[in-house]
Amino acid sequence: MKTILLGPNGQLGSDIRTENGRQGEPLLIRAVDRSILDLTDFEKAKCFLRNQHFDCLINCASYHRTDEVERNAQLAFTINAHLVQTLAEICAEKKARFVHISTDYVFGGQQKRAPLTEADGKAPVNVYGASKGMGEDLATLAGGDPMVLRVASLFGVAGASGKGGNFVETMIRLAKEKGKLSVVADQTMSPTGTADIAEAVIAMVKAGVRGGVWHVVNSGSATWYEFAKRIIDKIGVPASVTPISSAEFPTPAKRPIYSVLDNAKLASNIKPMRPWQDALDAYLIAKGYRERGSP
């Protein structure tokens, strides 16, 4: 299956390419990065993609620096919503499968405090979440049965593009530098390894599953404090981890208090996703970190 991959060098894009290679390249991927195509130039993007022959387009590109996005709403909606509409329309024209990566940040304002299903209504609390939510809607309205995959709290070997590393790496670095961490304990989410998402994406494309919204996250949930505590405990950095409230760590963009995603739909149609703790352990091994007590 000839596949265009946008955002190929980020955490998820890198792991999709790695997993595809590990499986013997079931997808014939053409990685299209910024050096090849400037996605902010819609006319050039349209011309480029309409001249390509592909069966599937996987869109991992987005404007995802949450706090920066808060003061750049126009660019956020351009990239995260209107570009997505354009990509979906081109795929519909070509009768190609469109796979779009979205986020748990389309939630946050809802009262529900149980794992959120694909049927639950969106309720973003920041510009990033609102722009991604609009992107989901515009992709669906474009036709062509697009797959919208919501992911969350990513950690991947490639690190987070433009963020100076993912949460895991940031916690390890700060723990080593300062010997103590203060981490928000009143925001609950679904920590997820991009290696696991990559495996699921390829399986879904190969299986030709129906379009619509899918929650593609590791099983279980955690607060950011619980996530950080697990990281530090596993690698044995001599640092304390203290829980704090969101009010004690203000950010330009409000974060969801609860955005845990229910992955039962994926589990019943493709396969269950392993617990986030197992995904984290595998990540730490892949990155070469020694577990507490190891030689």
- What is the 3-state secondary structure of 181-194? EEEECCCEECCEEH
The conformation of residue 116, written as its DSSP 8-state character, comes to: B
Catalytic residue numbers read 128
What whole-number distance in Å separates Cα of residue 77 and Cα of residue 86?
13
Spell out the residues 6+ positions from residue 264 whose beta carbon is closer than 8 angstroms to its own.
117
Return contacts of 115-123, CB within 8 angstroms, 24+ apart.
Answer: 115/221, 115/260, 115/261, 115/262, 116/215, 116/259, 116/260, 116/261, 116/262, 117/215, 117/262, 117/264, 117/265, 118/150, 118/212, 118/213, 118/214, 118/215, 118/262, 118/265
